[in-house]
């Protein structure tokens, strides 16, 4: 057995970081909670948590040079996992109360308010994984825990017409209409739901991600 994969959970003042740290430790990662750029660059995996408002999360990330840390890791093919708003900020733009905030721009698209009779979307829900998904292998029919009012309701990269383009594996869920529940795109993976709060299925997803870091 190789050494435990080293994972940094990026500490920028937002996110349910303690539960994420514990969940990652339970599935075999050596976890450090820090905003230190060197530690984040050298870790086998980087987790970007996030709760609350898109604009506030972006401000928190910028305060610890998060965009540069994340961008450099991805440019080098180094694994990053975004959770909840940590996924949303990977898109180009977030729109809250009519105000647009630039995101990290790793994917084209807009995160905006769900159009559903009840918002926020809170509780357990099934998902529709992409056939090419690795993270959901063996847990395709399980339920995951969501708590959010905003989401990406389309994924423009899937519409690329280039035959040489390998599309990301996009997993969908539904609340008043379809929305992006997870994305696997090279070194960048992300979930709108909280795997650390999703019981055995969430633990299995995190274990699969941690194992991929070896």
Sequential pLDDT tens for the chain (214 residues): 458 999 999 999 876 699 999 999 999 999 999 999 999 999 999 999 999 999 999 999 999 999 999 999 999 999 999 999 999 999 999 999 999 999 999 999 999 999 999 999 999 999 999 999 999 999 999 999 999 999 999 999 887 666 667 789 999 999 999 999 999 999 999 999 999 999 999 999 999 999 999 9
185 and 79 Cβ atoms separated by less than 8 Å = no
Neighbours of 132 (CB within 10 A): 11
Residue 160, domain member (yes or no): yes
The pLDDT of residue 16: 67
Pick the closest to residue 57 from 106, 109, 14 (CA basis): 14
Domain that holds residue 37: 6-211
Note whether residue 199 is domain-resident.
yes
What was the pLDDT predicted at 185? Answer: 96
Distance of CA 49 to the CA centre of its chain: 7
What per-residue confidence (pLDDT) applies to 158? 82
The answer to whether position 193 is within a domain reads yes
pLDDT value of residue 1: 43
> What pTM was estimated for this model as a whole?
0.96
163 domain residue, yes or no: yes
Are the beta carbons of 20 and 83 closer than 8 angstroms? yes
107 SS3 class: strand
Structure token digits, residue 142: 């399980």
Enumerate the H helices of 141-198 as residue ranges. Answer: none
Q: How far lies 66's CA from each of 10, 24, 48, 107, 155, in Å?
A: 8, 20, 9, 16, 23
Q: Is residue 25 part of a domain?
A: yes
Q: 């539960």: which residue's tokens?
A: 19
The two three-digit tokens of residue 177, written as one number: 């209409």
87 is a domain residue? yes
- Residue 15's pLDDT is what? 67
Which H or E element spans position 95? Answer: strand 91-96
- Predicted pLDDT at 162: 63
pLDDT of residue 167: 87
What is the domain count for the chain? 1
Facing residues of 113 across strands? 150
CATH of the domain at 165: 3.40.50.880
Q: Which residues are catalytic?
A: 84, 194, 196
User: Is residue 1 assigned to a domain?
Assistant: no
User: How far lies 62's CA from each of 11, 40, 104, 163, 191, in Å?
Assistant: 12, 15, 10, 36, 21
> What's CA 65's distance to the chain center, in Å?
18
Residue 198 lies in a domain: yes
């Amino acid at each position: 057995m190789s050494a435990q994969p080293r994972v940094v959970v990026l500490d920028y003042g937002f996110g349910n970081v303690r539960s994420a740290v514990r969940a990652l430790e339970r599935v075999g990662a050596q976890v450090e909670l820090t905003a230190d750029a060197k530690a984040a660059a050298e870790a086998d995996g980087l987790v970007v948590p996030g709760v609350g408002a898109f604009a506030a999360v972006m401000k928190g990330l910028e305060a610890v040079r998060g965009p540069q840390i994340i961008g450099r890791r991805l440019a080098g093919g180094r694994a990053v996992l975004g959770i909840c708003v940590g996924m949303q900020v990977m898109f180009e733009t977030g729109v809250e109360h009519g105000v647009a905030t630039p995101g990290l721009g790793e994917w084209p698209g807009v995160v905006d308010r769900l159009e559903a009779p009840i918002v926020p979307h809170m509780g357990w829900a099934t998902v529709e994984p992409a056939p090419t998904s690795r993270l959901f292998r063996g847990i395709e029919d399980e339920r995951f825990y969501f708590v959010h009012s905003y989401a990406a309701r389309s994924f423009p990269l899937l519409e690329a017409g280039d035959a040489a383009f390998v599309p990301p594996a996009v997993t969908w869920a539904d609340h008043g209409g379809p929305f992006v529940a997870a994305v696997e795109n090279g070194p960048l993976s992300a979930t709108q739901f909280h795997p650390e709060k999703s019981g055995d299925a969430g633990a299995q997803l995190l274990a699969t991600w941690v194992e991929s870091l070896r």
